[in-house]
Chains A and B, each alone.
Chain A
């Protein structure tokens, strides 16, 4: 039983981080209809910036146990890069999807060099800081408290995002814009502002995800690609543009990965993509996506 919970927690922790990146991807596609390959770069940026922010805060006397709020603030602060990048993407909104993909792919490559330039080429870690929060135990099941906090934070963000989209006035405007851009514009919605806000929100989801994961992992230049491959599996499984799909898709991918690692370690990616193919055959729009009419 203990082994089952260990594997479950491993899968859910991976899903929690994956959800944040996939949610950013979904939000941006849902409203702006752009497949943002650079979502992984935002994730990496959050991780690097998080390490630097914590190191700086500790060097000026902040207690080390405050690293979690510092990471959150660092991830949120990176939202400032959202508006200028969105302004760049405006040049391709009405062009072929291939241009959009090329531009966001160019951003991936540019961000890789930017990260290398500012943070150096070597993977960066926060040492043993994650251990400051101790471990939760139930019998023989042990979970680092920090991992549990990341899972809780991710769930809170998922519900907060859902409430924001459904219950707030801006959320309704946002959904209306996603539904019909021209009509929204005709009734006076400032679509440019909505796009900039949505892109910033999508960016922040990625940067917060990266900042939150770094105490348990490492900030490295390989991060963007590593996660984007799985984030796209989440999107296909959950349905492009669906937030609920991002949540369920992330859980499916996280659990499939954890189970594959336990029972057939070599089949980690295969197990995930078997589900992707099955969903594509049975429900081409994804579990929660709407079929194209």
Chain B
């Protein structure tokens, strides 16, 4: 009796699975044999740990939705998560994912330092790889101008370009002296240089009275704030983005730097938005939320659902890394399914790569696409902070939205020349 009940259950389950997989029933037997294995490399510890964690949550949200909808071209998705640490060890983990776990695609990576080293390694291993963040740029120069297997996120400088444009748009004529406090690596250096280049482009006369370069991980910024205060800038531009940003904000507030006489632009504040409490983060600052602003009034149903689930599950509000991870997974899904449809059989890796080029998808934060040169285009959000909300941290009162084709160099262009010549609408 028990045996026959088991047979019935098997039959019912089998029928259910067949129904779910109906659109893909013509798949070769091998392709349907197992799930798609996606290797994820992301930091779960250290100064970028919270960022990696948020990305992973966005990725898991994408996978849950994909699997609930029948998988990618009929195959469920399975994640194998590895830790992103230094470039050398992260490449070892990439090797493990590709050679040992035999993953179909690798996604993740936050640090530019890691992606810079991992890009060529992934090309050498012929491993389809989609970076969430970081870039494969040395500064602003492409180290792999024509990648075949590697796809990357938007230029890191997009947020600095947008914040600079907002500074010009909102505050032109209201400041003469500027200061910078930016992380001491190529990201911070390029951002501050881009800011100054854009001020020059739009004819904003200014004098740089201080530039501070705290090392990533510095937790005592008292002396940095004292130096900024001594320089008496009208405007401070800061692309601090890790745990040092709330520390800076608190220290600057305590030292009287935020008494209303100085304007502030934080292009990457979104990474730390919930840690920037109202009590020490004034209104009227320019904040960048990159490709996901969690409190967008006219957000898509997809974003609203994600933010609600995220809040309920983690008692927190997501930032843009969740969007980057979601975007990467959806680009892969769209590529596989387009290639499958074109071939009417399970596609090869090259078929998938070809289909991913130019693919358009709807990400958590809005529309996006993967350019033919393997660089993402996405929607960016920044604006002026307000305290008029239900949270204990500032949100955006006035929101500006820009598509990244206005914020990053076109294929093959030089970043600095592009800034000089680009027709950018304010």
User: What is the interface of chain A, defined by CB distance below 8 A to chain B?
Assistant: 2-3, 6-7, 9-11, 13-14, 17, 116, 120-123, 125, 127-128, 130-131, 135, 137, 140, 142-144, 147, 213, 216-218, 220-223, 226, 257-258, 261-262, 265-266, 268
**With A121-B44, A261-B212 in contact, do A216 and B251 touch (Cβ < 8 Å)?**
yes
Docked complex Cα distance between A220 and B279 (Å): 23
- The listed residue with most A CB atoms (<10 A of its CB), out of B213, B220, B224, B243, is B220
Q: How far is the CA of A13 from the CA of B275 in the complex (A)?
A: 23
In the complex, B211 has a CB within 8 A of chain A? yes
In addition to A222-B46, A226-B218, 10 A-B residue pairs with Cβ atoms within 8 Å of each other are A2-B230, A13-B222, A14-B223, A121-B49, A130-B250, A216-B220, A220-B217, A220-B219, A262-B230, A265-B224
15 contacts between A and B (CB under 8 A): A3-B230, A6-B255, A121-B53, A122-B49, A123-B242, A127-B277, A128-B280, A147-B222, A221-B45, A222-B47, A226-B218, A261-B226, A262-B226, A265-B227, A266-B213
Q: Of all chain A residues, which has the CB nearest B257?
A: A142
Contacts of A131 in B (CB 8 A): 250, 253-254, 279-280
Q: Which of A135, A147, A226, A266 contacts B219 (CB 8 A)?
A: A226
- Do B223 and A11 have beta carbons less than 8 Å apart? yes
A262 and B277 form a contact (CB under 8 A):
no
Task: Decide if the interface of chain A is mainly helix, strand, loop or mixed.
Answer: helix
**How far, in whole Å, are A6 and B229 apart by their CA atoms in the complex?**
8
Closest Cβ–Cβ distance, residue A280 to chain B (whole Å):
24
B246 contacts partner chain A, Cβ-Cβ < 8 Å: yes
B219 near A121 with CB under 8 A, answer no
Return chain B residues, CB-CB under 8 Å to A10: 222-223, 225-226
Q: How far is the CA of A2 from the CA of B222 in the complex (A)?
A: 15
Tell me, in angstroms, the Cα distance from A213 to B247 when the chains sit together.
Answer: 12
Tell whether B50 is near chain A: CB-to-CB under 8 Å: yes
Q: Does B256 contact A (CB under 8 A)?
A: yes
A213 touches B220 (CB 8 A): yes
Which chain A residue shows the least CB distance to B244? A218
Find out whether the CB atom of B211 lies under 8 angstroms from the CB atom of A265: yes
Do A9 and B226 touch across chains, with their CB atoms under 8 A apart?
yes
A226 to B221 CA separation, bound complex (whole angstroms): 13
Does the CB pair A262–B223 fall under 8 Å? Answer: yes
Q: Which of A116, A144, A222 lies in contact with B254, CB distance below 8 A?
A: A144
Min C-beta distance of B398 to chain A, whole Å: 25
Residue tally, chain B, CB below 8 Å to A: 39
Q: Which residues of chain A are within 8 angstroms of B220 by Cβ–Cβ distance?
A: 13-14, 17, 213, 216-217
Bound-state Cα–Cα, A9 to B251, Å: 12
B242 — which chain A residues lie within 8 A by C-beta? 123
Query: Are B46 and A221 in contact (CB-based, < 8 A)?
Result: yes
What chain A residues lie within 8 Å of B225 (beta carbons)? 6, 10
Closest 8 CB pairs of A and B: A121-B45, A3-B230, A217-B219, A10-B223, A123-B243, A144-B254, A6-B226, A121-B49
Per the 8 Å Cβ criterion, residues 264-312 of B in contact with A are 275, 277, 279-280
Interface contact B46-A257, CB-CB below 8 Å: no
Name the A residues within 8 Å of B251 (CB-CB). Answer: 216
B298 nearest CB across to chain A (Å):
31
Q: How far is the CA of A120 from the CA of B50 in the complex (A)?
A: 10
Given contacts A6-B255, A14-B223, A262-B226, contact A121 B218 (CB under 8 A): no
Distance between B46 CB and nearest chain A CB, rounded to angstroms: 6
Q: Is A123 in contact with B213, judged by CB distance below 8 angstroms?
A: no
Is B226 a contact partner of A3 (Cβ separation < 8 A)? yes
Q: Which of A13, A128, A222 contacts B217 (CB 8 A)?
A: A222
Q: A131-B280, A216-B220 are in contact. Are A116 and B45 (CB under 8 A)?
A: yes
Most buried by A among B217, B227, B244, B277: B227
In the complex the two chains form, is A122's CB within 8 Å of B279's CB?
no
* A-side contacts of B253, CB under 8 Å: 131
Complex Cα gap A45–B170 (Å): 45
Minimum CB–CB distance from A47 to chain B (whole Å) comes to 9
Q: Which residues of A contact B244 (CB under 8 A)?
A: 218
A128 contacts B250, C-beta separation under 8 Å: yes
- One of A17, A125, A144, A265 near B275 (C-beta < 8 A): A125
B218 engages A142 (CB within 8 Å):
no
Q: Would A258 and B223 count as touching, CB distance under 8 A? A: yes
Q: Do residues B247 and A217 form an inter-chain contact, with CB atoms below 8 A? A: yes
Whether A9 and B243, one on each chain, are in contact in the complex, defined by CB atoms closer than 8 angstroms, is no
Establish whether residues A125 and B226, one from each chain, have CB atoms under 8 Å apart when the complex forms: no
**A220–B229 CA distance with the chains assembled, in angstroms:** 27
User: With A218-B219, A221-B45 in contact, is A135–B254 under 8 Å at CB?
Assistant: yes
| Residue of B whose beta carbon sits closest to that of A259 | B223
A117 to chain B, nearest CB (A): 11
Contact of B230 among A6, A17, A142 (CB under 8 A): A6
Q: What's the minimum C-beta distance from A12 to chain B, rounded to whole angstroms?
A: 9
CB-nearest residue of chain A to B46:
A221
Q: Decide: A226 and B217 in contact? CB cutoff 8 A.
A: yes
Instruction: Name the residue on B nearest A132 (C-beta).
Output: B279
- Residues of A with C-beta under 8 A to B250: 128, 130-131, 216
Q: Nearest CB to that of A222 among chain B residues? A: B217
A222 and B43 CA atoms in complex are apart in Å by 14
Whether A7 and B277, one on each chain, are in contact in the complex, defined by CB atoms closer than 8 angstroms, is: no
Q: Determine if A123 and B280 form an interchain contact, defined as CB atoms under 8 angstroms apart.
A: no
Taking CB as reference atom, which chain A residue is nearest B224?
A: A261
Inter-chain contacts of A128 with B (CB < 8 A): 250, 277, 279-280
Known A121-B46, A131-B279, A220-B243: A147·B223 in contact at CB below 8 Å: no
The distance from the CB of B66 to the nearest CB of chain A, in whole angstroms, is 27
